[in-house]
A and B are shown apart, each in its own frame.
Chain A
Amino acid sequence: MERREIVTGVILMGIFLCGLFTCQALPLLAPLKVVQEYGTVFLFLGAVVTGLLLGMLTPSMEKGVYAGFASIVLGLALAGLILALPALLGIAGQLGVVSTLALERALILAVILTPISAVGVFIGNLI
């Protein structure tokens, strides 16, 4: 039962982080102006919240960190799928809409976000 809850939590937070990763990679196309301007800040906050919630859900700090990392990886993979949609749907042309810089930034952010979510897990375990 506990395992099932953790997996569900990881999936839900992965979907949440996917939205933030997508907005961060395509800031000018984000629906809200505040997300356009502070996409990276929201991503950091999202990682803390993810860690916090998963920390509350998991019995140990170690499991919480793993769950946070899994959420980040899932979010990044889903965002990658969204960014690859034009190519997958066959509508990619001569012009590249997403810069490689944005993709590299997303990958670096994913690495940075893991210890940040661990902070959230630590707080979540204390609650």
Chain B
Amino acid sequence: MGALAVCGIALTWATAGDYLGASTVAAKFQSSVQGITCSETNSEYKIRIDVNLTNGSEWDLSVTSMRSIVYLDGQYVWGHNYDWTGNPLELPRGSTNDIVLEVEVPHTKTDVVATGGNAWSIRVSGLLDMPRLGTKLFVSKAQVPLERGND
């Protein structure tokens, strides 16, 4: 029993050490929505979401996919998937990456955007590829002031 307990302690020690290391890496990854811009061209609306991805860890990470969902006045407007599985967005150690996610509003939703107020909220989620841990989900939610512009 003592020998098995020692084996159990060794297993726990090794796994917990790696787990704490991975958790530290995960804690140093941050994603945040910096801003949102809505532009109109020929009654077609395009929403641009500025997202900041920061990898403050010692590991090289990559983002394989993202999804953005836009709400206006608490009502769902539209969402879009960005799949980069073939060419993941690389986040080397200690790097920061600013990306722009574009959402084209369909014709069925143009009235919602045109008549809606400025209470926009964004939900950005993605899959982060971590060495030895596989893909992990991250989520950022933000309520940001809208900059409306006409192109």
Residues of A within 8 A of B (CB): 8-9, 12-13, 15-20, 22-23, 26, 28-31, 35, 49, 53, 78-79, 82-83, 85-86, 89, 91-97
With A91-B23, A95-B138 in contact, is A16–B4 under 8 Å at CB? Answer: yes
Interface check B105, CB cutoff 8 A: no
How many angstroms between the C-alpha atoms of A25 and B37 in the bound complex? 42
Task: Mark B60-89 against chain A: 1 for CB-CB distance below 8 A, else 0.
Answer: 000000000000000000000000000000
Q: Are B8 and A94 in contact (CB under 8 A)?
A: no
List of 4 A-B pairs having minimum Cβ-Cβ separation, nearest first:
A93-B27, A19-B8, A19-B11, A16-B8
Please report the total number of B residues contacting A with Cβ < 8 Å. 34
Q: Are A12 and B15 in contact (CB under 8 A)?
A: no
Q: Are A31 and B11 in contact (CB under 8 A)?
A: yes
Interface SS of A by simple majority: helix
With A82-B16, A96-B137 in contact, is A13–B11 under 8 Å at CB? Answer: no
Q: Which residues from chain B contact A96 at a C-beta distance below 8 Å?
A: 26, 136-137
Nearest B residue to A50, CB-CB = B4
The A/B interface has a contact count, at CB < 8 Å, of: 113
Q: Which residues from chain B contact A18 at a C-beta distance below 8 Å?
A: 8, 12
Q: Within the complex, what minimum Cβ distance (angstroms) separates B17 from chain A?
A: 9
Q: Which residues from chain B contact A93 at a C-beta distance below 8 Å?
A: 23, 26-30
Q: Are A22 and B138 in contact (CB under 8 A)?
A: no
> Which of A23, A35, A97 is the most central at the interface, judged by chain B CB atoms within 10 Å of its CB?
A97
Q: Are B1 and A91 in contact (CB under 8 A)?
A: no
Of B19, B128, B137, the residue contacting A29 (CB under 8 A) is: B19
Q: Which residues from chain B contact A12 at a C-beta distance below 8 Å?
A: 1-2, 4-5
Q: Are A95 and B26 in contact (CB under 8 A)?
A: yes
Q: Are A26 and B19 in contact (CB under 8 A)?
A: yes
Interface check B10, CB cutoff 8 A: yes
Q: Are A29 and B15 in contact (CB under 8 A)?
A: yes
